Amino acid sequence: MKSNLDEMLISSIRNIPDYPKPGVMFRDITTLLGDARAFRRAIDELVHPYAGTKVEKIAGIEARGFILGGAIAHQLSAGFVPIRKKGKLPHDTVRIAYSLEYGLDEMEMHKDAVVPGEKVILVDDLIATGGTAEAAAKLLRQMGADIVAACFVIDLPDLGGRKKLEALDVPVRTLIAFEGH
């Protein structure tokens, strides 16, 4: 049986079949972001376990992780660290390569964005195969961050991303799950 929270969040997410390719069901959170009540509830639920704890930074993965991460950082009175695609940050950066379905990509953050030992929460909208989140966690650790958790609105458990992060000893918090792809 689904909770009121599950029902609210699931009903606020648009499902787009066959995007970006045939056979994929794209979970679009822009409708959740546009629903003030659902957006507020999602942020409150992501923040709740960490309220009153010492979290210095929220690291958001481009692009929806910026929206969620900024709101979470505000609620926790933490700084915000953007993790971006290669070439998008204007100052000295550190970079990590990661595998995509067809090839490699790179992401980066500013070298001075995290001080070693700072407690950081990693944020994005969805965890699927986990490649991007795994690379972001490795990049944060490379800079000395103490990753408190990785938080996502949506988990696609059949794709195994959560397990990749847990194998790195990164606790994972998700609000809802969709079976399948």
Domains and CATH numbers, the chain: 54-177 (3.40.50.2020)
Q: What is the pLDDT of residue 179?
A: 86
In this prediction the pTM is: 0.95
According to the model, what pLDDT value does residue 103 have? 76
Average pLDDT, the chain: 95
Q: How far apart are the C-alpha atoms of 116 and 146, rounded to whole Å? A: 8
Whole-number Å distance between alpha carbons of 124 and 154: 9
pLDDT at 73: 98
Question: Could you tell me the CA-to-CA distances from 6 to 35, 65, 90, 173, 181 in Å, in that order?
Answer: 15, 20, 39, 14, 19
Best CA proximity match to 175, nearest among 140, 138, 148, 150: 150
Of the pLDDT bands very low, low, confident and very high (cuts 50, 70, 90), residue 181 is low
Per-residue pLDDT, averaged over 115-138, amounts to: 97
Angle at 112 between CA 106 and CA 117, to 5 degrees: 100
High-pLDDT (> 90) share of the chain, % = 89
Given a cut of 80, whether residue 102 has pLDDT beyond it is no
Cα separation, 91 vs 11, in Å, equals: 41
- Residues with catalytic roles: 64, 101
pLDDT greater at residue 98 or residue 180: 98
Amino acid in position 121: I
Q: How far is residue 164 CA from its own chain's centroid?
A: 14
Please confirm whether the linkage preceding 20 is cis (ω < 30° from 0). yes
